[in-house]
Amino acid sequence: MKPKLKRVFQCQSCGYISPKWIGKCPDCGAWNSFVEEVIEAESISKKAETARLKTLEDIQPVPISSIKITLSDRLSTGISELDRVLGGGVVRGSLVLIGGDPGIGKSTLLLQATDNLAKKYGRVLYVSGEESLTQIKLRAERLGAISENILLLSETLVEKILDWASEEELNALVVDSIQTVYTEEAMSAPGSVSQIRESATKFINFAKQKGIPVFLIGHVTKEGAIAGPRVLEHLVDTVLYFEGDRGYAYRILRSVKNRFGPTNEIGVFEMTGTGLIEVENPSLIFLSEHSQNSGSAITATIEGTRAILTEIQALVAPSNFGMPRRNFIGVDYQRVNLLVAVLEKRGRINLAGADIFVNVVGGLKITEPSSDLAVISAIVSSFRDIPLHEGMVIFGEVGLSGEIRAISQTEMRLKEASRIGMKHAIIPKSNLERLKEKFNLKIKGVGSINELIEIIGS
């Protein structure tokens, strides 16, 4: 009997289903995201029932103590930055989703990882629904990723891919990309939410059954019929975002969800003609062109498990328009507006008629409030046109009454600063009092922004 089909409209960004087209999704608030899809009318409850009956026979709980963990449950991708972001290698049987803007280097990263995995563990299947085999080969030659054990497949039907893959001996599977593959079980076009969800579920089951890691590449643009991988984030084990400014050669791999490791860990890469190169010392590249002019301050932020030093630049100039311009890149817009207000009210610096620009060098995005003090220092330094001390690192959170609040992991930040060769540090007073270790730095503690402004003026 043919299944009964039903037409619905589904939000392509969150999967919300509506019987008629609507302009704004009531669930996630996305505009113009509804696309007509065909689903089986009776599907959900009936499918669940058959699945339940099927699995009921082989349900067999086991005591937690009887499960053995071996060290080899993680595979090394041979790229240490990627391994670290994954939490020390990729876990067998897990599903890793790597999302990122078009052309950022997703295929490059995974092809390099595929090559390493193939060299170390044996056969790895790389499935591409986007590029022809020759195109992949061209890239592979450029990257020098031509191990014998890389198997390439240009195929988009999930059932075909998995039929072949489950019979063979494989150590990892890469799917480039989840938007281009489709399963016969969902009726809508490839790239739609229901296709992506069904296909991903199949890959998850495959990974768990076979005990090998599966990498899925996903596009994040929300235009046209392509759904963002956000709907997948709940299903998969690990979600990594590959980001970076087109203007820079640096790429940052960030983990936003990880069932087997810390989140917000970052890996830094440089894109070159021969592929992605790991940057082992990110502080050095973010500071490499650091200028000694006014308006530049160096801060130390914690990204995942390590501290990174980076430069924050500010430019304060008299405004020619009635409405002064405020433009902040790499820092939280609301947060910097708040800091400007604190500077005006508590620091008595009149910025009302000034254009203010703030930029984090190197395309890094800082979300930590510990950068407050450096942002303020950069603004004051530019406003007064006084350069800060050479080799000075500044960090601390600023409160609304102009007080400097303590932050976490001071020692780790100071350690990185002295390793890079910094000479001075300005940190919250309360952090200085609690400091246990000795550092090769002249450290000053500040309790309010007025103390900071005084130091900058001296």
Ligand X SMILES: Nc1ncnc2c1ncn2[C@@H]1O[C@H](COP(=O)(O)OP(=O)(O)OP(=O)(O)O)[C@@H](O)[C@H]1O
Which of 342-358 are b and which e, b meaning 16 or more Cβ less than 10 Å from the residue's Cβ?
bbeebbebebeebbbbb
401 annotated binding-site participant: no
Write out the two tokens for 50: 């058959």
Q: What is the DSSP string of 27-95?
A: TT--BS-EEEEEEETTHHHHHHHHHHHHHHTT-----GGG----GGGEE--S-HHHHHHTTSSEETT-E
**105 part of the interface to ligand X, by CB under 6 A:** yes
Tell which residue, 226, 224, 221, 253, has the closest CA to residue 240: 253
Q: Could you tell me which of 298, 248, 258 has the C-alpha nearest to residue 97?
A: 258
CA 392 to chain CA mean position, Å: 29
Query: Footprint of Mg ion on residues 102-121 (CB under 5 A)?
Result: 107
Give the containing element (helix H, strand E) for 219.
strand 214-219
Segment near Mg ion (CB under 5 A), from 51-59, 100-108, 151-159, 257-265?
A: 100-108
Give 107 or 171: the residue with its C-beta nearer to Mg ion: 107
Cα–Cα nearest to 390, from 253, 304, 318, 287: 287
Question: Quick check: 271 binds ligand X (CB under 6 A)?
Answer: yes
Q: Cβ 107 to ligand X, closest distance in Å?
A: 3
Choose one: 96-104, 288-296, 369-377, 379-387; the region binding ligand X (CB under 6 A): 96-104
Instruction: Name the pairing type of β-strands 296-303 and 275-278.
Output: unpaired
Among 19, 63, 224, 273, binds ligand X (CB under 6 A): 273
Q: Which is nearer to ligand X, 10 or 107 (CB)?
A: 107
Residue 87 Cβ vs ligand X, minimum distance, rounded to whole Å: 23
Number of residues engaging ligand X in binding (CB under 6 A): 13
Q: How far is the CB of 176 from Mg ion (least distance, A)?
A: 6
Give the tokens for residue 339.
């800091």
- Residue matched to tokens 């008595």: 348
- Minimum CB distance to ligand X, residue 385 (Å): 38
Q: Which stretch binds ligand X (CB under 6 A): 162-170, 226-234, 270-278, 297-305?
A: 270-278
**CB of residue 249 to Mg ion, shortest distance in Å:** 18
User: Does residue 15 belong to the site contacting ligand X (CB under 6 A)?
Assistant: no
The reply to whether 103 sits near ligand X by the rule CB under 6 A is: yes
Site for ligand X, rule CB under 6 A:
100, 102-108, 130, 219, 271-273
